[in-house]
Chain A
Amino acid sequence: MMATFFGKESVKVVTDFAYIPVTAAFVILSIIIFLRFKKTGNHGKAWLLFLGTAISWFIAETTWTVYELVYHLDPFPSAADVFYIAGYPFLFLFSLFYLKPFKKLISRKMILCASIISISVLIPNLYMTVNNNSDESEFAIALGATYPIADAIILAPALIGIFLFFRGEVNFLWTLLLIGILFQVIGDTGFQYFTLDNSYYTGHPIDILFIWSYILFSFGVYSHIQIFKKSDKISEHNKLV
């Protein structure tokens, strides 16, 4: 926010560099929780997939920064998009593996409600994409529209997770994931709007939502690290059994 007083160039540099430590922290926390579960059970596999998301988005943010600050090229569309998009299937599969042990509780009605909510968040983006007079390439417009679609796909299991784990300690992760995904939905829809409008630049206020989504995801993972951290009580118990 402070950087905005020093012009667009400053805000671009500050924003580009802000993304790297934020996503690096996200990767480190994901590695910690993955090492805690070590592929044991469904949640072990889930956290391995979550780590895939964190690594993909870290590479994407680093690639964006390199394109913009090193090569002075427009980073959208670019190779960074491959890694941004790659993060979504990992996150979707994470949700599936995490929710798998609780699938008996997931009713068709629940899936239908979550799907309706997810599809409804797509409406503003689809409207903008169809009714645009932008001089952006068709590829860039289609790519920009892909993000809110991917957000909507990952939103559905997050909504189911909130319902399933209601009042449980693990629900904090799902609440933060849901808010983070909603920030991404608004951020990606805004990104598409301002890109079509030719008014987007790195450091645009809409970027705050993306940074916050990474922070929220990281705090969600941190809460899980705290819940499932190792304890001396376990070794004491193992001696007794």
Chain B
Amino acid sequence: MQEGHRHGPPAPNVTAGLTKVLLGEDPSAIIEALKGALQRGVPPVKLSKEVAYAAAVRICRFTTTNEFSDWITVLAHIHLLQRAAPDAQARVQQ
């Protein structure tokens, strides 16, 4: 039986730890992390999905005591952009 070998070794996770950096407050660390990922050959579509995930996590952690207009920003702007960005990249690559 080949049970256990069927899926092969797990692919190395090239973007591990990225979410933590993206949710941090150091812009230069964020820029370096994204640049590094691109230089290591992470596909832009995958990378923008990682950013979308971080944006979603940020929404989950956004407190309900924040102003309504701040919610509009965090929900509408960040999430829409992160939804549009992977789609747009996928479209350009068609």
Partners in one complex: no
